[in-house]
Chain A
Amino acid sequence: MNNYQVNEKGYYGDFGGAYIPEMMYPNIEELRLRYLEIINENSFKKEFEQLLKDYVGRPSPLYLAKRLSDKYGANIFLKREDLNHTGAHKINNTIGQILLAKRLGKRRIIAETGAGQHGVATATVCALMGMECVVYMGEIDIERQAPNVARMKMMGAEVRPARSGSKTLKDATNEAMRDWINNPVDTHYIIGSVVGPHPYPDMVARFQSVISAETRKQLLEKTGKETPDYALACVGGGSNAIGMFYHFLEDENVQLIAAEAAGKGVDSGHSAATSVLGKEGVLHGSRTILMQTDDGQVIEPYSISAGLDYPGIGPQHAFLHKIGRTKYVSITDEEAMQAGLLLTRLEGIIPAIESAHALAQLEKMSFAREDVVVVCLSGRGDKDLDNYMKYFNF
């Protein structure tokens, strides 16, 4: 059996680790030593499951999209993370981490956000738990994602603009790390994807793994078999994809496909297709694949979807990519927008533009009629309406 999970040193093959300044060491070390013990406690599990059920609305449905299935000639199921409270998979992770932060005795929460989905999910659980919340967001993203900024403020979070560097997600992540260096005692940093120093990638993956745990059960009920032929998801940092793949990794017959944002085209100079354009290096505390210059400077990526324009991928993805367990594909803005519109017209579901990248891959595949395909519909498109309207001139 292959081992796809993190080893005791914090690595997935050559990827992962904790490349952090000494100032962050005590916090990361505390997490590393305690996260497994805490999340395996019965009281933790009970509280986590209860909140996922009553507050988030889990299990999220596994919906057989009939008209989409007819179009592509396969049995296509959508894992409806868009129906979660706050409208995306991000809340699975923030619920887990806030419960963990409470058990670590922390009183203040910080987070980074790009599109604002993770920021909203963090502000939400902070309101729920009565914790102070500061969300770092690139100055440019604050302008682009005004509705999510308003949601965070209404929840009582402080949204602090990241004004350094390119003023987007990677800079918001830098600012959150700097905040943590300056406030090491009472603060927990809720990272929004399977990125960052060990143990974050593994911890976030465990919280998101509920997606594939449910999918297995639901598939068994609906098809008589626990595993699909294909599982698809989009990748920004990679948390909904890892959540979708987690419990299928060892079923080698399940083909795992991750859709990256190619932006205006992989070679256009306006892209976020990290697995194609990236090289091995260190970003935000882990060894992974990232878009960078020959001098090791991080390159700012581009995608029409604010949730996918991250210059790296989580270390587990870098590993799965390198060993070939998961196939990484590139989807352009145009392909994603068309796929988003198609789902809306065929099924009456407006997907997040991020999720539409996974849907767009269906167009490029050929299926046998009996094939079972699961697509992670990571979020709903309400936040993207403006973008859709402009794109299609509605």
Chain B
Amino acid sequence: MNRIKQLFENRNNRKLLSIYFTAGYPHLDDTLQLAKILEDSGVDFLEIGFPYSDPVADGPIIQYSSEEALKNGMSLAYLFSQLKELRKHIKIPVLLMGYVNPMLQYGVEHFCQSCAEVGVDGIIVPDMPMYEYEELYQETFKKYGISNIFLITPQTAVERIRKIDDLSTGFIYMVSSYATTGKNLTVSEETTAYFKRTKGLNLKNPLVVGFGIADHASFEHALQYADAAIVGSAFVRLLSQSDYLQQIPSFIEGIKGDVVV
């Protein structure tokens, strides 16, 4: 069974934490080491970003990590070569996140095949449209057992959410507000209403909140309405410090706080 499915089915009441980082930042060959430390620190699943030169959905922090990663020599082909060893070390689900153009150049079938070979469970590509996915790529993703994760926002209409729920295999990525990545979530009536409304739809797929989750408070808030939350920019910011490896366990503990694990 797909590791993502397994994770959510067996979670009981555990609140799950996912961490995003950009492959190749701060150093080209950090990928597996970071994954291992995160798993050992109690992170439940990982999103590994493959960098793109023009990341329109991202704020300054992830733009910067993407630029640096590219300068360091990261590419999709190189990332897959690093990930050959992934399943020797890492048990938790791993998703790749990035933009559609590098995936198209690599070749969608080749991409899915490489994901399956190295043990990547799913992908998040915010600028791959639903129509194109359905018409052109869905079969290939199914063939290789790769989950494609769609995003929803406070402005996504209910019928569209239902359609996304039908097409999704894994979870639904609930973008916390209308913003690019890296803007801290402010707990407002509006976001609370959106979280409640979405939870109330009783979708088939688990809900995972991302964008703006930066600390224990925003993590807790999101998890009142969702099955998991993703921390991205706040973690990538930590990686700019020289002793980031030492700091990771306490950073993760700080986010999870007293949430029952």
Q: Does B152 contact A (CB under 8 A)?
A: yes
- The size class of the interface chain A forms with chain B is 20 to 34
- B104 to A, closest residue via Cβ: A281
* Cβ contact within 8 Å between B104 and A181: no
Spot the interface stretch: A16-24, A62-70, A241-249: A16-24
* Cβ contact within 8 Å between B152 and A178: no
* Given A22-B152, A178-B59, A292-B105, A297:B129 Cβ within 8 A: no
CB < 8 Å A-B pair total: 108
* Cβ contact within 8 Å between A18 and B106: no
* Cβ contact within 8 Å between B179 and A285: no
Q: B108 to nearest A CB, angstroms?
A: 12
- The size class of the interface chain B forms with chain A is 35 or more
Q: A271 to nearest B CB, angstroms?
A: 18
* Given A19-B100, A19-B128, A22-B126, A295:B54 Cβ within 8 A: no
Q: Does B132 contact A (CB under 8 A)?
A: yes
Q: Does B77 contact A (CB under 8 A)?
A: yes
* Given A181-B178, A296-B52, A297-B53, A21:B102 Cβ within 8 A: no
* Cβ contact within 8 Å between B178 and A23: yes
* Cβ contact within 8 Å between A182 and B77: no
Give the distance in Å from the alpha carbon of A281 to the alpha carbon of B127 in the complex.
12
Contacts of A25 in B (CB 8 A): 153, 155-156, 160
* Given A18-B129, A22-B153, A282-B127, A296:B105 Cβ within 8 A: yes
Q: Does A145 contact B (CB under 8 A)?
A: no
* Cβ contact within 8 Å between B54 and A298: yes
* Cβ contact within 8 Å between B132 and A181: no
* Cβ contact within 8 Å between A295 and B77: yes
Within 160-190 of B, Cβ neighbours of A (below 8 Å) are at: 160, 175, 178-180, 183
Q: Does B75 contact A (CB under 8 A)?
A: yes
Q: Does A364 contact B (CB under 8 A)?
A: no
- Among B53, B77, B175, max chain A CB count under 10 A is at B53
**A residues touching B (Cβ–Cβ < 8 Å)?**
9, 17-23, 25-26, 164-165, 170-171, 174, 177-178, 181-182, 184, 279-285, 292, 294-298
A-B contact pairs, 7 of them (CB 8 A): A165-B53, A178-B59, A182-B180, A184-B178, A279-B105, A296-B52, A296-B104
